Structure formats: C-alpha cells, structure tokens
Structure 1
C-alpha cells in the first residue's frame, strides 16, 4: 500500500493576495461626509412625501463619495464636480432611450465605447467616464420618477452635496493638505536615513531600506502632484506655493545621499534623522526656523570621523534644507518652482490628452472591450425577460475598467463582495419596513463605504452593495425579492466580463513589466550620461553647468517615479491567475536589480560631488552602453537568461559599485521562467 499525504485545501496565492486587506487609516472625515450626504437627501425626500426623489439624490451622493479621493481642496472640486456633470449627461441619455429595445442597446454600447476611451486620459476623466456609463445604464434600465430633467438634477445635487461638505473647512485649512504632504515627505526621508545608516551588521537591512525608499518615493510623488497641480490653477506667482516647492526640492539632496550610506554600509549620526523630523514639524505647522535654524532643529556640527562621506553629504543636505525653510523669501534663493518642470496649463493638457486618446490604439482597444461586454449584457437582457436586470451592465461597468487594475481579480472580488453585501442587506430588506427606518439604515451603511474602500476592491463592493440595494428598493419596492435576482445578475455580469473582456483579449493575459523595465534601464543610461558627462568631458559651458543640477533632478525624480509604477504593476500582476502571476514573479529579481542600479548611480554622483575623482569619459560610455544593451534585451526577452558582461578595466573607480550592479542585473537568470 502506497503512503500518501493529503494536502490541506488552501486558496491559491493570487486569491489570498487579492483578499488581503490593505493597511490604511480610517478616513473619519470622509466617513462623516458619506453618512450625512447619503442619508440627508433620503430624509428630506421622506419628509416631503417623495422618498424616491431622496433616493435619487442619495445615489448621486454615492457617486460623489466614490470620487472623493483627493487630498487638496482644489482637486476635490475637479474629482467630484466634473464627474457629476458627465453622470447627469449619462442618466439623461439613458432615460431618453428607456424602453426603446435595440435602440437602447446601441446607445448604451456607444456610451461604453466613449467611457472606455476616456479611462485612458487620467484619474478625473476615468471617474467621469465611469459615471457617464453607470448612470446611462441606470437611466436605460430603471424607470425614473418625474420629468426627464428631474433625475439628473437630483443625482447631480446629491454629488454636489458631498462636494459642499468636503469644502466646508477650506477657508480654515487652505493649503494644509499640501503642507501635510511636504511634511510627510520629510518624515519619510528621515525614515530612509535611519534605514540606510544602520551599518553593515544590521539585520534585514536591505528589506528595511527597500521599503523606506518605496515610501519616500510615494511621498515625493504625492507631494509634487498636489503642489504642482495647485499651481496650474493659481494665477500669478504664489509665495506659499513657491515656498512649498522650494522645501520639496530642498529635501532632494538628503534623499540622494541615503543610497551612499546604504551602499557602503556607513552609519549615520542619529541626530541627522532627528533634525529632519524637526524640519518636518516646522513644515507641517507652516513655521520657519529662526535665525539660529541649525540650533532650532538640533543639527550638529559637520560629522567627524568615524563618520564618512555619506554622513557629510546628509549633513550638507540638511543645512541646505534648513536654510531654505529659514529664508524669509524663497524667491531670492531658489527659483524652485521651475526646477522640476512647470506643469502645462490645464486646458493645454486636456487638449493634448484628448488628441492622444483619439489617436491611440490602446484607448480604442479599451473602449472596444468595454463596449463589447456592455453590448452583450444589454442584448442579453433584451432577449431574456429578466425584470430590472440593469444590474448585469452595472457589474460590468465596475469590473471592466482597465485603469482600475486586474480585470480577472476584480471580477472575482466583485462576485465575492456582492455575496457578502447581499448577506448583510438580505435581513435588512426582509425585516425593515420602507419609510423612516431607511434613513438610519442608509446612514450606517453609507459610513462603511469610505471606511472599507481603502482596504481593497472586494471590501468596497461589500460596502456599496447594500446601499445600492436599499436605494433601488425605495424606487421599485421589491423588498427581499431583490436579493436573489441581484446575485444572479452580478454573477452573469462577472462571467461576461471574464469571457468577453478578459479571455478573448490575449493582451490582458500579459504583464507590461518587461517593457517598463526596459524603459527604466534606458532612462538610467541617460541619467548616467547626464550625471557624469560634465565631469567626464572636462570643463563645460557656464549655461550648461547651471542647467545640469535641474536636469539631473528631473531625471532622477522621473526614474524613481517609473520604478514606483513598475512596483505597482508588479503587485497588480501577482493577483492574476497562473500562468500570468508566475511569469510576473520571475521579473522580481530584475526589478530589484534595476532599483539598485539607480541607487548606485545616485551614490556615485554624491561621492563625486563630495570630492571623489570623477570617472573618465570611456568608463561612462561603457556603463551607458551596457545599460542600453540590457534595455534592448529586455524588450525582446521571452525567457530571462544570463547575459554576459564585457566590462574592461577594474572596479576601483567611483563607478565600480555601479558596474557591479549592472553585472548583477545582466546575470539574473531564470531559465524556466517564461516572461511576458
């Protein structure tokens, strides 16, 4: 008798990753706004004897809550108000074709095409396209009360109520989100210094440093996005904004010095991260250190031995940051708002984005995928007599948004979240009478939407489902009879999205990690040339020398932003089922290798700036050539195999560590791992 071991039944890794709740603080302000904005219209409508009108306004408020994701007040105006206008257009178009059979199918399918193409423009356009399609599906599938203009007016009013509640504190907190983002960048940079300066003997040194570097990159991205986005809507030169950008730019030398400490295992004095946190506190309060800025933040004298060049580089960066914060007029010391590139005017960017979408093959493919699925759903419910089966198209609308992540995992999470939401809503629909009891129930369920949304898509679905069911029941009075049809409709919608929106499109099975890594390596080659070209070539012109720091800063920021995007794409790909997730996992060693190449380049640049002999032009050209060859290989790779390196000379120069990292990257091997 053969012995056999029974393996316990465990869910697959990709499902575990998808279901794992993300760590995030509870946004209590958003929770309060959602509870008030969704329950208040329902209460007013019930008091006026027209609860159906209140339900429509509450549906609009739900759309506003979903779009209320920005920190800065000016961005909230765009994120909430603009999508509401498209939502009003969508419900109007849907209501006009309600009950018109195949005309309604064609109209909603055309709206789906436009919505899918809009999703490639940007965040605001994506939410606008979502509401355009979502509300057109509701208008075409649900009989709405009142005149044709009443439903769009009520739904828009509900969304604008969310905006009004969000803007109540603007006069008292103007500029606070931007300052908080800059202060968070300083604090994350302090954590990076602590992780980088642990010395050679520290345990888990690389893991802690990699996490801290990812955190500081995310903080920098968020801060620059907030501050520069605000500048696009402010006319003229704003001293507050100039100061914020100057403070952001001032922390760049500190962040650049961290890879040097990490690379060479140098310990950093603990007073340096503490001083940076003191600067972060000053930024958060909107204060400037006094004339004795170094004393105010506890910055010591320049580190002496045994501390090495990395500690001195960090110290110099902190002195520069303290000087920037202490200066009464940052305009006199930094024209910093232009150092990392002034963003284009909003209307120029909109025109450019619209033109790119119309001419982009990817946007047309996204639009066609969404239109195909919506068309199938609308045709199905037209051929089969399923009452109020607009839920099928609603499910597809939420699942098949290409810019929202993996279609496969979203379909699975949508099904699981719907089951959980229906399990919560079923006893409420069965036991609670329609009327005033709806108001406290909606208040409680509405508060769960922003509370659970940061945890993940499945949790958001579980929170939204009871709210939509209760508001729908106010309109059509089906009670507990809604539960089973809604479950069937959701599963049908998920199945259509999986088959027609995922399996029929081979491009959705592949990751884009290889192409993005190739672009990052090519940009790293240009960064190497920019960082060391002046020293390698000898004396350069004055104008070129003045522009070099700004150019290097822009390239380095773009590189780390790209690497952050690659990590995001990698995490998304891991939630795909086999073989896509397994193929994505094979890229991880090379993702880390490319990040270390960028760190090694930055560390070498810091060493040159603090007295190390610059590399020769031949050495710079050789490293650049090897990086470009690596990038070319990544664009053509099917199976990741070792690539021989043919460096000449020794690794004794300032670029020695960089050469070693390039060698390691090109030697990454995964003979059995097919990549795509």
Structure 2
C-alpha cells in the first residue's frame, strides 16, 4: 500500500501536549470557517426587535417579549436555501410550538400533573425527532414551548401565548419570503451551478492527493442540488419548464461524475481545458445562457478519456438547450414519493423503530427527572433546567456529551454579555437597539459552532425573560446554576447510563455500505438485459445504487465526525475506522471507473472475476459488522488476477482495505 494511503490522518487527531485540552473539546471550540450570513443576521435583528418596539408603543412589553420569543425559534430554524423549504422549516415547527405552549399553559401550577404531562410530551417529542430534519425541529419546539408554558405565568386566556409565539415565527417567515418574487428559483439554480463548480475542482485535482476530498464535495453538492430541485418539483403541479431544465442540467452531471474516478486512476493531471469547460457550464447554468458553446477539447484516446469527452459534450448540449422536452427528463434518480406516502412511511417507521423509542424514552426520562427535581427542591427559574436538557439531548444534532460541555461553556460566555446588558442598559426603549445587535449575532455565531450559538442565544433569552419577570441582574446566577444542573442530568441519565453512548456506529453503517457496494458491482457487471428498454432500466438502477452508496458514505462521514467529538474511548475507536472509511470510498470509485471504461470500449471482466469481487466485498462487510475495530479484521491475500482487467483497481482497493488489519499498519 502506498505512503499516501497509510498516512491518512483523521480530522480531530488528538494532541499529545500534556497541558493541551482534549481533542474533542478543541474540535467543538474551534470556529467553523463558514461565511457569516449577513442577510439572515439583518432579518434576525429586525424580526426580534420590531415586536419589542411595538410592545413598548402599546404599553404591553410582555406581549412584545412573547412575540420576540416566537421570532427566536423562527430565526434558529431559518436554515434552508430554497424558499419553499423555508416555509416548511419555519411554519411547520411553529405549529408544533403553538401546541406545546398551549399544553404547557393548561398544566401550569398543577404540580405532579405538569410533571407527568411534560414527561409524556418529551416521549412524543423524541419519537417525532427521528423522522427527519423538519420533524426534529418540530419536536424540539413542541417540548421547549411546553416547558415554557408550564414554567412561566403567561398571559391568559390560554390561547394568548400560542397566538403571540406563532405570530413571531410567522413574522420571521414573512421577512424571509420578501425576496421570493425576485429570487424565486435562484437557490436551486445556484445549487446546480455549484455542482458543476465542485466537479471542475475535482477534475482539476484528478491524479493528485487532493482528489478524494474534492470528490466528496462533489457528492455533497450533487445531493444538495437534487434535494432542492426534486423537493420543489414534488410540490409543483404539472411540469414547470424551468424546473425541468434545471433537472436536465443536473442529470447530465452524472456521466461526468462517473468519468472523474476513471480519469483519476490514470495518475496524471487532466489538461486545463477540461476543468475550464466545466466551469463555463456552471456560469451558463447560473446565468441562464442558451447560446451553443464552442468546445476546444483535446482528442480522447483511452476509454476513460472517451467517456469524459462524450459526457462533457453531451452536458454542454443540454445545459445550453433553451427548451427541454417536458416529458422526456428522467427524475427517477431521486424523485420523492407523494406527500401522503412519505407521511405514512414516516409514522410507520417512527412507531416501529427501536431507535425512535429509545431516544424518546431517554428524553422522557431526563425531562421527568428534571421536573421531579425542581418540584422537590426549590430552584429559581426551574424551567431552565428542562430547557437545557431539551437543547442538549439531541443526538441528531451531534454528540450529547460534547453538546453538554459546550453548552455549559457557551452559557458562561453568554452570561458575561448578558451581565453587561442587564447591569448597564436601562430597561425600556433602549432594549430595542440592544436586541437588534444581540439578535443579529445569533445567525452569525450559529454557523461557527454550537458553543458560539449558545453564547449568542443566552443574552437574548435573558433579556426577554427580564421583560417578563423584571428581575434584571438577578437572573444571571440562577441561569448558570440551572444550566449546569440540566447538563449534569443529561450527562448522567441521557448519556452515561445508555450502552450505545459508549460505542460508535461507524462499523455497522460502513458494513451496510460495503454490502451496497457488492450489489453495485453485481448490477454493473452482472448479466445485462438484451432489450434497449431493459438496458435503460438497468442503467437507471445502477445510477440509483451509486447515488445511494455515496449518500451512505456521507452518512458514515457525518457519524465519524460526530464520534470524534466524544471523549475516550469512543473518539479513539472512531479514529481507528478512518483508514477503512477512505478505503471503502475508493472501492466504490474504482467500481464506477471500471463501469465507465467498459461503456467506452474496454474489455468487460469475466463472470468468475466479478463473482470473486462480490464474494470478497460481502466477506469484508461481514468482517466489519462483527468487528469492534479494524484491527480485528483478518487481512486477505494479495490480489490475484489479470493486471489489465478493468476490475484490477477494485481488487487492489479491496486488498488495501483488508491490509488495514495487517501487523504494523
């Protein structure tokens, strides 16, 4: 195995200096390089300060504070690119939040009835969160607002608080949608263009050490673009010409993406004209250009070069096509099912999933214990304990352990800002400009990391709480104490006592991906249909399988990054899987490259060689599934077979994957 393969170092590698903080903590405290979303920051400042100004003008500051609280949840949920997705991300959670605060208000002051009600709501919230991203935020708001309603003396009658909180969220949605008439399709178009740009970067790095990382960016960009375009198309009645054109432009990226691994395996850089031509396509997509380009490309000689040349010329023809055939654009590569079907599947999966029940029970246990504790022991602002538990115990948002520690640190930093505001700024109209600044910090800090987001949200919540409770600087100490209690409950009863907290799921997910790779090889090189229709169906199935594998690999990487933020031994075990994660990605790339070469003139592999590769892949999957770490895998014999076969790179990558277990690796 080459030096390049053996020296792959996972992100978050621990530092060895005796006084250095642990790697998992450094990873969470290191700000992300993501750019600041200035438009979102401006919207947040306006959305949260305007209700305060209206409240002061009407001499009802408490009402203004509640509307701002609703706006806060809308600001946190405003993370989508496409406008229709923003409607879902903001409006749907607001409905769940309204139900939550209504239920909480109804049990306010009812002692153990409130404890039981919040525990049951926590169970439902946790199970809902397993469905998907929007459902996760909806479950979060359902429980958060229920805790607020049960812990604060909100205005009566019971429907007042739900109405005000929902108004705040809808105000954020209104501000978000102001640009829709001018930029209605811009997010989808930009996403498609970004796919071409990321592909150009990958082609530019072909044959070099940076290719693997850039190819992963292509996968992320392609998945994101399909999610936006097909997600929007599922909600548009009929066939929109603009959406069909964007889908056609996205579909023709697939042959280019498939050709990239074949060019990378040559080991030599591509002529600069090729990445430049792909970047020109990106500009044409984003600008809506339709004039036919003049491609000046080097003459192809090998099957891989012919594949790339044909894919690039076909992409150029489709990208600049002004009027695509509305009924001849294939959306089977990712077309979502109808909303009714997806809802039925989601409910079924939620009710039958062990993971859903386990998370719901974990959350219910922690919320129930938090509520019992504050019911038995006098704790100021006791609802903050349950709020902290709710924010921290979100495994789909990242490591529970690191979130608990980072929330404590972020809360401490936020309290410093809150102390300055509550001690120096007089209550009243001065709160409006202060809220403009503090609210704008939430989107700006949220993209930098969880600790930074917590630091930005803390002073905002305290300022709004002061408008409801009029305690001023006296809010600081109970806020810190309650946050620490909530973090401690989560760490003990939501993390340490659950066996799955102490093991990484990387091996299981990686084994599933290797099994998918075996099926991919079988579809790519197994018996092919004789009819043209059958060949088209087989090609679509193969492309669907490839996309599913790359999506699965993205999930493995996300799980890997999450596990690295866990304390020892989980983080160290996760790091041990890194070389195998890279090796499996290369196996899939080599399989794709082999299929591309066969499509453009290379000799197809024999049936016996295909069967051997499939058997080896399934054996590797079984070994990964039964191993606690890669060192327990049995190394395989050196690859044998024809060195000129298109599957020779696949066999070599398979041997490299098994060699990870060899002594001295």
Normalised by the shorter chain, which TM-score bucket?
over 0.9
Residue 281 of structure 2 corresponds to residue 272 of structure 1: no
CA drift at 1:238: 1.6
1:649 maps to 641
Structure 2 residue 436 is matched with structure 1 residue 443: yes
Matched, 1:602 2:592: yes
1:244 matched to 2:246: yes
SS of the residue corresponding to residue 336 of structure 1 reads coil
Provide the C-alpha distance between the structure 1 equivalents of 2:650 and 2:328, rounded to a whole number of angstroms.
31
Measure the CA separation in 2 of the matches of 1:511 and 1:238: 44
Is the Cα–Cα contact under 8 Å of residues 573 and 629 in structure 2 kept in the other structure? no
Tell me the CA shift for residue 583 of structure 1. 0.3
Residue aligning to 2:11: none
The reply on whether 1:74 has 2:95 as its aligned counterpart is: no
CA distance in 2, matches of 1:668, 1:61: 51
Aligned to 1:360: 353
Would you say the 8 A contact 1:228–1:343 is kept in 2?
A: yes
Find out whether 1:482 has 2:475 as its counterpart: yes
Does structure 1 conserve the Cα–Cα contact (< 8 Å) formed by 2:404 and 2:491? yes
Residue of structure 1 equivalent to 2:68: 58
**Structure 2 residue 52 is matched with structure 1 residue 42:** yes
Aligned length: 648
CA contact (8 A) 2:577 2:629 kept: no
Query: What does residue range 41-190 of structure 1 map to in structure 2 within 5 Å?
Result: 41-190=51-200
Identify if the C-alpha distance between structure 1 residues 381 and 645 changes in structure 2 by more than 3 Å, giving closer, same or farther. Answer: same
* Cα drift, residue 662 of structure 1: 0.8
How far 1:648 moved relative to its partner? 4.9
1:324 aligns with 2:318: yes
Secondary structure of residue in 1 paired with 2:336: coil
SS of 1:264's equivalent in the other structure is coil
Mark the CA change 1:639 to 1:341 in structure 2 (over 3 Å): closer, same or farther. Answer: closer
Paired residues of 1:639 and 1:672 also in contact (CA < 8 A): no
- Give yes or no for contact 1:408–1:502 (8 Å, CA) kept in 2: yes
The Cα shift of 1:517 comes to 0.7
Partner residue, 1:255? 257
The secondary structure found in structure 1 opposite 2:381 is coil
Cα-to-partner distance string for 1:74-133 (whole Å, 9 max, x where unaligned): 111111001101101101111111111100000011100000001100111111100000
Report the counterpart of residue 211 of structure 2 in structure 1: 209
What is the alpha-carbon distance in structure 1 between the residues aligned to residue 327 and residue 339 of structure 2?
28
CA distance in 2, matches of 1:75, 1:280: 23
CA distance in 1, matches of 2:499, 2:642: 46
Q: Which 10-residue stretch deviates more, 150-159 or 7-16? A: 7-16
Determine which of 393, 397, 402 is the counterpart of 2:386. Answer: 393
Contact 1:14–1:574 (CA under 8 A) maintained in structure 2: yes
Label 1:313 to 1:149 Cα distance change in 2 as closer, same or farther (>3 A): same
User: For 1:280-359, what aligned pairs fall within 5 Å after superposition?
Assistant: 280-288=282-290, 290=291, 293-295=292-294, 299-303=295-299, 308-331=302-325, 334-338=328-332, 340-359=333-352
Of the candidates 487, 493, 505, which is equivalent to residue 500 of structure 1? 493
CA offsets, 1:201-234, max 9 Å, x none? xxxx32x111101111110111011111111111
Contact 2:514 2:620 in 1 (8 A): yes
- TM alignment of 1:475-624, pairs within 5 A: 475-534=468-527, 540-624=530-614
Partner deviation per Cα, 1:127-179 (whole Å, 9 max, x = no partner): 11000000000000111124211111010000000000000111111111100
**CA 1:330–1:302: 2 relative to 1, 3 Å:** farther
How far 1:576 sits from its partner (Å)?
0.3
Distance in 2 separating the partners of 1:632 and 1:584: 18
Q: Which residue of 2 aligns with 1:459?
A: 452
Over the aligned positions, Cα root-mean-square deviation in angstroms equals 1.7
Q: What's the counterpart of residue 3 of structure 1? A: none
Residue in 2 aligned with 1:659?
A: 651
Distance apart, 1:304 and its partner CA: 5.0
For residues 650 and 608 of structure 1, what CA distance do their matches in structure 2 show?
Answer: 15
- Segments of 5+ residues of structure 1 without an aligned counterpart are 1-5, 200-204
Distance of 1:439 and 1:469 partners within structure 2: 14
- Bigger mean CA deviation after superposition, 347-356 or 179-188: 347-356
CA contact (8 A) 2:43 2:176 kept: yes
Q: 1:650 Cα deviation (Å)? A: 3.0
**Alpha-carbon distance in structure 1 between the residues aligned to 2:577 and 2:482:** 38
Q: Is the 8 A contact 2:514 2:584 kept in 1?
A: yes
Find the residue that maps to 1:329 and give its secondary structure.
coil
Q: CA deviation at 1:500?
A: 0.4
> Given the alignment of the two structures, is residue 383 of structure 1 paired with residue 376 of structure 2, yes or no?
yes
Distance 1:209 1:646, change over 3 A: closer
Match of 2:365 in 1: 372
User: CA deviation digits over 1:176-212, x for unaligned, max 9?
Assistant: 110010000010000010011xx5xxxxx32x11110
User: What residue is the counterpart of 1:202 in the other structure?
Assistant: none
CA distance in 1, matches of 2:164, 2:641: 73
Shift in Å, 1:545: 1.0
* CA distance, structure 1, for counterparts of residue 105 and residue 31 of structure 2: 38
* 1:387 shift after superposition: 2.6
Contact 1:141 1:389 in 2 (8 A): yes
Contact 1:24 1:455 in 2 (8 A): yes
> How big is the shift at 1:610?
1.7
Following superposition, the deviation at residue 396 of structure 1 comes to 0.5
Q: Does 1:404 align with 2:403?
A: no
Q: TM-score w.r.t. structure 2 length?
A: 0.95
Residue 347 (structure 1) shift: 2.1
CA contact (8 A) 1:242 1:336 kept: no
> CA-to-partner distance for each residue in 1:408-463, whole Å, 9 max, x for gaps?
01001100000000011101111112110111111100000001111111111000
1:325 and 1:365, CA in 2 relative to 1: closer, same or farther beyond 3 A? same
What are the superposed Cα offsets for residues 291-313 of structure 1, whole Å, 9 maximum, x if unpaired? xx231xxx2145256xx543332
- The answer as to whether partners of 1:294 and 1:319 remain within 8 angstroms in 2 is no
Q: CA deviation at 1:334?
A: 4.4
8 Å contact kept, 1:105–1:379: yes
Distance of aligned partners of 1:301 and 1:16 in 2 relative to their CA distance in 1, 3 Å threshold: closer
Secondary structure at the aligned position of 1:233 is classed as coil
| CA distance 1:109–1:333, shift in 2 (3 Å) | closer
Deviations, residues 339-374 of structure 1 (Å, cap 9, x unaligned): x14210112101110111011111010000000000
Distance 1:370 1:10, change over 3 A: same
SS class of match (1:344): coil
How far did 1:12 drift?
0.7
Q: After the TM superposition, which residues 417-428 of structure 1 pair with which residues of structure 2 at under 5 Å, given as runs?
A: 417-428=410-421
Name which of 619, 630, 637 aligns with 2:620. Answer: 630
Give the match's secondary structure for 1:169: helix
Q: Which has the higher mean CA deviation after the structures are superposed, 6-15 or 73-82? A: 6-15
Q: For each residue in 1:397-416, what CA deviation from the matched residue of structure 2 results, as whole angstroms up to 9, or x when unmatched?
A: 10001211110010011000
